[in-house]
Amino acid sequence: MKEMKNIFKKLFGFAVLAGSLASCADTNYPGGEVSPYIGIYDIRNLYKGSAIDLNLETMEGSNSLSAVVISDHSGNNLPEGMLFVQDARRLSLLRGVAIPLGDLAKEYKPGDSVIINLDGTVLDRVDGLLQIKNVDQNRITKVASDRPVYATLTNTAKIAAKPYDFESTLVAIVKGGYTYTPEPGQVISGDQTINDGFGTITVSTDANSTLANLPQYKMANYYGIVFTKQEQDSVIAYQKMRTQRDLVELKSVYKVPKAIITGWNNDPKGSDNNHEYMQFMATEDIDFAKTPFSVVTTNNANASTPVGFPQKGWATGGMRTYKINLTKGTAKKGTFFYVGGTNGLILSSGSTSIKHANWIATHNYGTTDGQGFGTKTTNLLANSGNTYGIAIFEGTDVTEKSIPEDVMFVASGGSVVGNGFGYRVANNDFYDIINPITLNEQPFYRSGSNTNNIPYNTPSDAGYFNYMGGEYNMTLGRWTKARVKYAPLLEKTSVLEDIENPEFATKLVY
């Protein structure tokens, strides 16, 4: 496992990094000395729908390309005879391009640093792929080997939105799964549709490649080169992996949470004291008298005590965390339930009563300490500033080691993680207990890749409600559409249906 981690650290990065050659110090810009090197970003922008000759005039004084090879033909899964290179010379934006070389293409390995003389070549889109043609061996100078090969960590929605930006580049699609649960013996050969929680993409594997008989994993990371094709009036992107190392199975346990966070009102218009509330959805029938739960919130203002990193995690107490127990009532699968202050109004004083909603627990947090820990407060959830968070746990005994059923954080500031202390996360659409790229443990918010959060609504005291709309697939046991915040402005006359609108709410699918 350690060897595998080292291989991937060497081959892949997690963000687009500029420059793989010393020549990156030169740039093309008006008024300065023209660099002999042109970036692939600029080359791609020269193409306007028809073939163009590349020369000193069309490249505005430049004549060469300095890039890193990303193609690997040892797996027999890439188009034969095609070399793929990428760079990030312009604006630190990674771009790639294909170069037809024939048998010569397989002699270059990922990480080879090359300089290519482009003066006299032709840029054209052939079979859907933008290519630099008329390049032969005499035009290519290999200047180094084993240079870093960076993969863009992205998602399928971004690729679908701008396919040409990703074409011919190496990308990492993480936490990809099928729209069904693979059976033992199913292999990846052919065109497979992968969902990463943001959308879908086809992963294409040739039947005669060394990858063809790799198993279909329930969840995996897919590294590969992006290709495009024209379908009617649309440009469709798809991915081809290069070798078996480009498919990495993820073995983290993604259990089905019994309840998920679907919304909250942290900043009602008017007083927040005893008026804040949180909305959840049950994913199974729950009798809270038989199966108790608890909801814990955290505020991390600089003046909140105890100060420093939360040594007891969600159970830190004081002004940092506050617990409300859920020990009575029921919630049917797929329905909303609420936890919060006792007033039961949709938008603070003078607004519509929503006491007829399914309130599983109400607690006057303005006058009463939390149930187990937490000091009474006029603001359960902050309106601005440092991080606040919401977590729901099965059971009422929450300790430093307790893992939530679901968790969500707003903003990023404050002393939330360090010295082995922090707020534990659940495996959900926002967070991962095991880093899906490095496979290292990252149990807390703000550790490793667990940096996703919801921004504060502005201005404050306006009356926004935070809808978290996504799609949770009960059959697959995973988020197939990550939650996205929709924040409508409520009015004092708003009604319960305004915050249970199925158009924006999270959906359970089967």
How many domains would you assign to the chain? 3
**CA distance linking residue 452 with residue 503, whole number of Å:** 24
Mean pLDDT across the stretch 212-228?
Answer: 97
Res. 12: pLDDT tops 90: no
The structure tokens listed for 498 are 């305004």
Strands 220-231 and 234-240: antiparallel
- Let me know if residue 49 belongs to a domain: yes
In terms of domains, do 344 and 391 share one? yes
Asked whether residue 103 falls in the same domain as residue 49, the answer is yes
CATH, residue 112: 2.40.50
Q: How far apart are CA 466 and CA 506, in angstroms?
A: 12
Task: Provide mean pLDDT across the span 331-336.
Answer: 97
Mark whether 301 and 426 lie in a shared domain. yes
d(CA 151, CA 239): 13
Are residue 271 and residue 420 in the same domain, yes or no? yes
Q: In 10 A of CB 327, how many CB atoms?
A: 15
CA–CA distance, 119 with 64 (Å, rounded to integer): 7
Q: For the chain, give me the number of helices (H) and strands (E)?
A: 4, 30
In order of 319, 370, 464, the CA distances from 306 in angstroms are 7, 15, 30
- Are residues 243 and 331 located together in one domain of the fold? no
Q: Are residues 111 and 41 in the same domain?
A: yes
Q: How confident is the model at residue 2 (pLDDT cuts 50, 70, 90)?
A: very low
* Structural domain contains residue 160: no
Q: Tens of pLDDT along 277-314?
A: 999 999 999 999 999 999 999 999 998 999 999 999 99
pTM: 0.83
Clarify whether residues 350 and 304 are in a common domain. yes
Query: Are 340 and 476 within one domain?
Result: yes
CB neighbours of residue 401 within 10 Å: 11
452/465 same-domain check? yes
Is 60 exceeded by the pLDDT of residue 327?
yes
Q: What is the mean pLDDT of the chain?
A: 93
C-alpha span between 255 and 428 (Å, rounded): 9
Q: How far apart are CA 338 and CA 357, in angstroms?
A: 7
Whether residue 362 lies inside any domain: the answer is yes
pLDDT in tens, 20-40: 333 333 444 444 678 999 999
Regarding whether 272 and 213 lie in a shared domain, the answer is no
**Residues contacting residue 303 through CB under 8 Å, at least 6 positions apart:** none
Whether 216 contacts 182, CB under 8 Å: yes
Query: pLDDT tens digit string along 446-463?
Result: 999 999 999 999 999 999
Specify whether 294 is located in the same domain as 242.
no
For the chain, give the percent of residues with pLDDT over 90.
88
Asked whether the predicted pLDDT for residue 218 surpasses 50, the reply is: yes
Is 125 part of any domain?
A: yes
pLDDT of the residue at 91 = 86
Same domain, 299 and 445: yes
pLDDT tens, position by position, 78-134: 999 999 999 999 888 999 999 999 999 999 999 999 999 999 999 999 999 999 999
User: Is 158 a member of any domain?
Assistant: no
380 in any annotated domain: yes
- Residue 500 domain-assigned (yes or no): yes
The CA radius of gyration of the chain, in Å to the nearest whole number, is: 27
Which comes out higher in pLDDT, residue 30 or 243? Answer: 243
Q: Which domain holds residue 196?
A: 172-249
Residue 8 lies in a domain: no
Peptide bond before residue 306 is cis, with ω within 30 degrees of 0: yes
- The rounded distance, in Å, linking the Cα atoms of 24 and 88 is 9
